[in-house]
Every structure is written in structure tokens, then in C-alpha cells.
Amino acid sequence: MNNYLIDTHAHIDMLEEDVNTVITTMSEYGVKKAIVPSVEIATLDKVVKIASDNENIFGMVGIFPSEVNTYTDEIEQKMEKIASNNNKIVAVGEIGLDYYWDKSFVELQKEIFIRQIKMANRLNLPIVVHDREAHKDCFDIIKRENNGSKVLFHCFSGSVEFMRECVKEGWYIALGGVVTFKNAVKMKDVAVDVPLERLVLETDSPYLTPVPYRGKPNKPAYVKYVAEEIAKLREIPVEELIKITTENAERFFGI
């Protein structure tokens, strides 16, 4: 039985602590593996190095929605080459659409999202989606453009109804620290309703720190509190939730 946790989304490259300390703390909290997304050109090489240098850390390649104006053919070729030659790169992400901060370049966001979906298809890698206030466009683009890559909605923020539509497509849902927030009624409802076989856990470190450490920097070790909260909401043993979500993450990412 898998009695360890996996943090499927941790920006370890952004943490103030060094990687060895992060991994030691993970171990103390029962977290064995973590996956580091890429968001920008400037830190791509750092993400790849962290994954390559540490047995239980894995990486993704991708350019975040707010960074799409930096995307070039050369960057795409670099990411594709890295992913083709490094088995520690296990997904394309985080990619997607973000209409929260700035809607002035929505069409460019869509164009680069589609290009990275196609890259994932060529690489036969899963897609990890950033979707903020862009649910319908994200859904429609993936349904239309994706050809065979598995799909995970990172830091899911939609309704129960939207979650059900995603699951109907065979896509996965990642929940993080927000589910522990007292007023996060919508996320708690999703946590109760999502089929367990489509659920994975994450922290989005250093952001969205769960209770009881809310307000402090998040870290992969704290995915333990996400697991405990969801198990409590679903009224199942936390060991059962950990076993299923860990198996889901290992199957989804091939780790």
C-alpha cells in the first residue's frame, strides 16, 4: 500500500529554502515525491536542474499565460528538446489561460496555449492546465485541440458542475490548500463530489498555504493538510485518500 503523499504542483524553484531542506521536510511529513512546473523562460533551466538532480523530484516544461509574450519558436524548440531527452520531465505545464490579471492579450494566450498543447501531443506528455476565470475557453480549446495527452486542471477553481464536465472528458482535478480555507465552500463541495479516481493533491508552493500555516510561505510538505481536510470532508480514512491520490498521480505522470 502506498502510504506516502505526492505534491503534484510545487514551485520549488521559488522557495527560499534550499532543495535538500525542502526534501528533508517533505520526508518528515510523509511526502515522497513532488513535481515542479515551469512558468517562465528565466527559470526553465533551474526547474530542469532541480528535477534532474533529485531522485524524487520531477519537472514540467511550459510557459505560463502571463508570460506568453516571451514565447518564441526557439523557446518551443528548446522545451521540446529538453523534454525529449530527459525522462525526469513528465508533463507540459503549467499552461493555459488567465483572465484575472489582464485580459488585453487573450487571443495571444489562446494561441500559445494551443501551441503548447500541440507540443505535449508530439511529446506524448500530459498537460497541466492553469485556468483562472477562463473555464469555458480552457475547456473548449482542450476539447478541440488536444489529441491524446492526459489533462489535469491544476488548482481547480470551478464549480461542481464544471468539475463534472471535466471528469466526463476523462480529465483529472488537482486540489490544494484552498480547500482548507473556512470560507472556500465551492472547493469543499468539489472535494466531496469529485470521483476519487480523478483526484490528485498539490500545494502550489509557495502560494495558497493551507490551514494551519495560512499566511506563511507554502511548502510541499504541507500537502499533508490538504489530504487530511479532503478525507475529513468525504468522511473516509486519510490513509485511503492518500493511497488513491498517490496512485492517480503516479499513473497520470508515469512516475
Torsion of CA 36, 28, 252, 9, to 10 degrees: -30
Q: What pLDDT, on the 0 to 100 scale, is given for residue 151?
A: 98
Cα(116)–Cα(135) distance, integer angstroms: 18
Q: Fill in the DSSP letter of residue 35.
A: E
The pLDDT score that the predictor gives to residue 104 is: 85
pLDDT of residue 62: 98
Nearest Cα to 34, choosing from 62, 61, 4? 4
The CA R_g of the chain, rounded to the nearest whole Å, is 17
- pLDDT tens, position by position, for the chain (255 residues)? 568 999 999 999 999 999 999 999 999 999 999 999 999 999 999 999 999 999 999 999 999 999 999 999 999 999 999 999 999 999 999 999 999 987 889 999 999 999 999 999 999 999 999 999 999 999 999 999 999 999 999 999 999 999 999 999 999 999 999 999 999 999 999 999 999 999 999 999 999 999 999 999 999 999 999 999 999 999 999 999 999 999 999 999 999
Closest CA to 35 of 5, 63, 59, 61: 59
Rounded Cα–Cα distance for residues 95 and 114 (Å): 9
- Report d(CA 245, CA 63) in Å as an integer: 26
- Domains in the chain with CATH codes: 5-253 (3.20.20.140)
Q: Are 30 and 3 in contact (CB under 8 A)?
A: yes
The pLDDT assigned to 18 comes to 94
Q: Which three cell numbers stand for residue 13?
A: 524553484
Distance from C-alpha of 206 to C-alpha of 176, rounded to nearest angstrom: 12
User: Got the DSSP string for 146-178?
Assistant: --S--EEEET--S-HHHHHHHHHTT-EEEE-GG
Cis ω before 206 (30° cut-off from 0): yes
Quote the CA–CA distance of 20 and 22 in Å, as a whole number. 5
Whole-angstrom distance, CA of residue 56 vs CA of residue 32:
7
pLDDT for position 219: 98
